[in-house]
Amino acid sequence: MKYTSTIDQQSRLITELFPSGCWVGQRCFILGGGPSLEHFDFQCIQKEKTIGINKSFIAHDTCINYAMDPLLYNYSVLWDLPHGDPENVRRRWIEYPGTFVFLAQKNTYQNDDKVYEVPKVGPKTISFNLDVGIHPGNNSGFGSLMLAVALGANPIYLLGFDMKCKGERTHWHDGYPKQSYVRADRKLARFAKEFDDFAPKLAELEIEVVNLGEDSKLECFRKQFIGDIL
């Protein structure tokens, strides 16, 4: 299969720190943004391999914090925050001990030594080569799953992948600008379909993905209670 990759030659690739397959034989927990994580006790998985999504870094010290939207970088580093607590976000960006990984965007992060990039490959691709890249899908949750796959993690446990709002609450954190729960619900339905399409392919590859959200609307992966595995 021929891959097409989007990466600037001056960018810092994730493989400088995390080679492809470096988590083989180890389980991984991915922290989504769903409201179910509002009171989650991160200490129970602190010694595990972990990937946080988007604004997870403001509360949790994961191994990797993955994002695909340059706006998150603007909010965190340039203080372009129309709401929330910019000083706290900026402080957490500086103090975060893990690795920030963004989907490659030409010339966006190449001068920031805290950011590493992962290239993008075409749709319908499950890549195990991080130098080539990952298929990010249409949301950071899906992209983080593809990142965990390329790192070799198995099984992969999903936390906070609610795929629905809780009343008017869209996230466990303070959300994003101009985001309403009505629009968020429509967007989350589209996000869920991306997982639905890839779930059979992951099963064929014997990559076990487990949804630890008992009340999650994401139904394509087996569900389990976190207390049963910790």
Greatest distance between any 2 Cα atoms in the chain: 46
If you count them, how many residues does the chain have? 230
Q: Are 214 and 223 in contact (CB under 8 A)?
A: yes
Task: List Cβ neighbours of 121 (8 Å cut-off, separation of 6 or more).
Answer: 3, 4, 5, 127, 132, 133, 134, 135
The band of 6, judged by pLDDT with boundaries at 50, 70 and 90, is very low
Cα 221 versus chain centre, distance: 17
Q: Are 165 and 223 in contact (CB under 8 A)?
A: no
What whole-number percentage of the chain has pLDDT above 70?
79
Q: What is the pLDDT of residues 55-72, one digit of tens each?
A: 889 888 999 999 988 777
Q: What is the predicted pLDDT for the residue at 4?
A: 38
Q: Which of 14-18, 134-138, 169-173, 204-208 has the lowest mean pLDDT?
A: 169-173
The band of 184, judged by pLDDT with boundaries at 50, 70 and 90, is low
- pTM, full prediction: 0.87
Q: What is the predicted pLDDT for the residue at 215?
A: 83
Q: Is 225 exposed, middle or buried (0-12, 13-18, 19+ CB in 10 A)?
A: exposed
Q: What is the predicted pLDDT for the residue at 53?
A: 93
Domains of the chain in sequence order: 14-228 (3.90.1480)
Task: List Cβ neighbours of 24 (8 Å cut-off, separation of 6 or more).
Answer: 152, 153, 154
